[in-house]
A = this chain, B = another copy of it.
Amino acid sequence: MRIIIIGGRGTVGKRVAERFSRHHEVLTAGRSGGDLRVDISEAGSIAAMFHETKNIDAVICAAGEVRWDIFENLAEDDYLNGIRSKLMGQVNLVRIGQEFITEGGSVTLSSGILADDPVAMTSAAAQVNGALHSFVRAAAPELKRGLRLNVVSAGLVADAAAKYGEFFPGHDPVPMQRVVNGYVRSVEGYGSGEVIRVYQ
């Protein structure tokens, strides 16, 4: 398969790219580096990426940012910026990508455990993740040409535990191998409309 991995240099994306590179042709994509340049918060940038890249069988997105802060500090724009990036960025990947991805191909999005089990300071992040879960379940059955759509929702990932563990009290870090396997199951499996929870 020929696979675009957006955010392929991030904590999760890097591991996912390593795994898929062993068996597939991987194109990494990001705002500041990789084989392709894309800013998922701009629909035009997503369209440009698909126009300049042919025969894509799978798209994996491990990108998208949402501000963390206590509820009383979060302004309307903090919510909207997260929505534009992590929510609509990923919705637009599916919306635009549906015309370009090869028949029977797949899109795999990334949400996170905050959808189901939030921690302090995550009201903006949690809502984006929860939206992605419901979006994937609703949109997947409507895709044409055998396209599949899933979302991987990981807990606190092991590679980020040193940096972010203090914000997830009582959360056991999820081994990276299990996180990567969530993406493998989506891309190489045959399910669609799945919320693939990788929690510890």
Interface residue count for A (Cβ, 8 Å)?
41
Residue in B closest to A122 when the chains form the complex, CB atoms: B138
Whole-angstrom distance between the Cβ of A141 and the nearest chain B Cβ: 7
Give A residues with C-beta under 8 Å from B: 43, 70-72, 74, 76, 79-80, 83, 87-88, 91-92, 95, 98, 114-116, 118, 120-123, 125-135, 137-139, 141-144
Indicate which residue in B92, B127, B141 contacts A134 across the interface (CB closer than 8 Å).
Answer: B127
Interface on chain A toward B: helix, strand, loop, or mixed SS? Answer: helix
Cα A76 to Cα B141 in complex, Å, equals 19
B138 and A114 contact, CB distance less than 8 A: yes
Contacts of A141 in B (CB 8 A): 120
* CB-based nearest B residue for A128: B131
What are the 7 tightest A-B residue pairs by CB atom distance, in nearest-first order?
A130-B134, A118-B138, A126-B138, A131-B131, A127-B135, A71-B142, A123-B139
Asked if A118 meets B137 with Cβ closer than 8 Å, knowing A72-B144, A76-B88, A95-B76, the reply is: yes
